[in-house]
Amino acid sequence: MRDFRRLPLWMGALVCLGFTGSHVAWADPARADWVEDPYAAHVTKGSTARLGTVVGVVYGDRVDVTAVGLAAAVGQRWGRLALESEYTYLGFQERGPSSLRLGDGHRLGVMGRFDVIRAGSRYVGPNSMLAVYVEGGAAVAWNRWSRPSYDEASRVVPDDTKRVEGQVGFGIEIEHRLQEPIGFPRRIGWFLGWRLALAPHEAGLASICRGESCRPAPMMPEERYTDRSMLFQSSMAVTW
């Protein structure tokens, strides 16, 4: 039998390279996102999507209403800065304990968000982060109003409107990083925040309706310069 101990050193090196070289050449590219230290700094970049609920109050259009609905957004993150396209659906209800439906609203806009303050894993917990953010943007708002049924009391029904509104907000984000990411997602977050929207007030027309029977409503004095809404949002977000 051949004595391998007498092989030249260069041949021994080739044998070792044959066993180890393949692992170096074919390293799993997904490992590039792995975080060995759960307390390492957070790298928040990539595509993002968000889905959640919305509740609040919409003032203006002759009728002040409670709004309940859903919001969805997609966008991109660059560190502390994120830019999203967002769609919101709102169901309008009568203010107070009543659940009477008065109409619905749609919002389509673009929002920019910036993390003003961040607390990393050493303060929040392994692979977790807490951020306080501010946001701003603009949206097109559509409000649609429904007439009362024949068995409901008569009420004021504003004309449908479409307008551009400015939006500002603030809130907190609690986010967790997957230490060994699976590709989608790499980060999971929970957002809680307030959103204020403002639009120039317009003297909208309205009708007093009961069933199919309607008559023009009298014009109201101009007491507002802006129509506004204040909405509370709670949503889950993923980054990949």
List the chain pLDDT tens, one digit each, 240 residues.
Answer: 444 444 454 444 444 444 444 444 344 444 456 778 899 999 899 999 999 999 999 886 677 899 999 999 999 999 999 999 999 999 999 887 777 889 999 999 999 999 999 999 999 999 999 999 999 999 999 999 988 887 788 888 888 889 999 999 999 999 999 887 676 888 999 999 999 999 887 777 788 888 778 888 877 656 666 788 999 999 999 999
State the Cα–Cα distance between residues 162 and 62, nearest whole angstrom: 15
**Which amino acid, residue 192?**
L
pLDDT tens figures, 174-185? 999 988 767 688
Buried b (16+ CB within 10 A) or exposed e, 56-80: bebebbbbebbbbbebebebebeee
State the Cα–Cα distance between residues 8 and 6, nearest whole angstrom: 6
Sketch out the chain's domains with CATH numbers. Answer: 45-239 (2.40.160.20)
Query: Which two three-digit tokens encode residue 98?
Result: 């009543």
Place of tokens 């509104």: 165
pLDDT tens figures, 25-59? 344 444 456 778 899 999 899 999 999 999 999 88
Pair 159, 145: CB distance under 8 Å:
yes
Pair 189, 176: CB distance under 8 Å:
yes
Backbone angles phi, psi at 13, to 5 degrees: -65, -40
Pair 35, 8: CB distance under 8 Å:
no
Secondary structure percentages of the chain, helix, strand, coil, to 5: 10, 60, 30
pTM: 0.79
